[in-house]
Amino acid sequence: MDTRIGFGFDSHEFKPGVPLRIGGMTLDHPEGLAGHSDGDVLLHAITDALLGSVAAGDIGSFFPPGDPRWKDADSAIFLKLALEELEHAGYSIANIDTTLILTAPKISPIAGEMRSRVADLLGVEIDQVSIKAKTPEGLGLDHVAQCHAVVLVERTEEPEELKSMEAVIETQRQLEDVVDDLLASVHGVPKKRTITPVYDTEDIT
Ligand SMILES: [Zn+2]
């Protein structure tokens, strides 16, 4: 089986007065996560893991933070783009494992619902998505939410470039004709092909 691995990390600072968005859900909490988009630390880490699995860059290369279009954007948009990149490369998700690191709110009571939401966004089954959470013990980072994500992807089809190569090979004959014409015009090399008569000479009786 042809598999690849991807890893993603993200962090955002807590900020009063904004909704807390994690895993595509709005959580009941007095503070949200500061960010140019909705600050969804979990979806950002998964997006980077997906892009990383097919070496397609990272979230910042597709969605520069300074771009006003992504101001307060729903991070599900970023996830969808990463999925398209994955599909384009001919891969699909085998499974995803994540660890959120934050002091509050408690994630374990809602982890099931969050897994279900993320699985829906990714178009996979809930048992392909794991969401774990820890507190930032000893890190002195109680004002920050962090997330690590790892994804295993498996090849499901030929990547787009290979498909187009096949199309080229199918039309190899036409390609050879073009090359012959080019050689003939540039170097004065006579065409290799002999002109096929419109009738079969053997048939002339
Ligand atoms: Zn982020």
Distance from Cα 141 to the centre of ligand 1, integer Å: 16
Q: Which amino acid is at 51?
A: L
Distance from Cα 150 to the centre of ligand 1, integer Å: 16
Q: Which amino acid is at 149?
A: A
Q: Which amino acid is at 19?
A: P
Query: For the segment 94-136, what is each residue's pLDDT rounded down to a tens digit?
Result: 999 999 999 999 999 999 999 999 999 999 999 999 999 999 9
CA neighbours closer than 13 Å in the CB half-sphere of residue 63: 24
* Residue 179 confidence (pLDDT): 67
Q: Which helix (H) or strand (E) holds 147?
A: strand 144-155
Cβ proximity of 78 and 111 under 8 Å: no
Distance from Cα 177 to the centre of ligand 1, integer Å: 52
Residue 117 three-state SS: helix
Cβ proximity of 7 and 47 under 8 Å: no
For residues 141-164, give the mean pLDDT: 88
Distance from Cα 13 to the centre of ligand 1, integer Å: 10
Please provide the average confidence, as pLDDT, over all residues in the chain: 87
Higher pLDDT pick, 177 / 117:
117
CA distances (Å), 143 to each of 15, 16, 98, 200, in order? 8, 11, 20, 85
Higher pLDDT pick, 181 / 152:
152
Higher pLDDT pick, 31 / 180:
31
* Residue 204 confidence (pLDDT): 46
CB neighbourhood size of 147 (10 A): 27
Q: Where residue 65 falls among pLDDT bands split at 50, 70, 90?
A: confident
Query: For the segment 3-55, what is each residue's pLDDT rounded down to a tens digit?
Result: 999 999 999 999 999 999 999 999 999 999 999 899 999 999 999 999 999 99
Distance from Cα 70 to the centre of ligand 1, integer Å: 12
Peptide bond into 105 cis (omega under 30): yes
Higher pLDDT pick, 162 / 139:
139
Distance from Cα 31 to the centre of ligand 1, integer Å: 16
Reply yes or no on whether the pLDDT at 195 is more than 80: no
Distance from Cα 192 to the centre of ligand 1, integer Å: 60
For residues 61-65, give the mean pLDDT: 84
Percent of the chain with pLDDT over 90: 67
Percent of the chain with pLDDT over 70: 80
Q: Where residue 205 falls among pLDDT bands split at 50, 70, 90?
A: very low
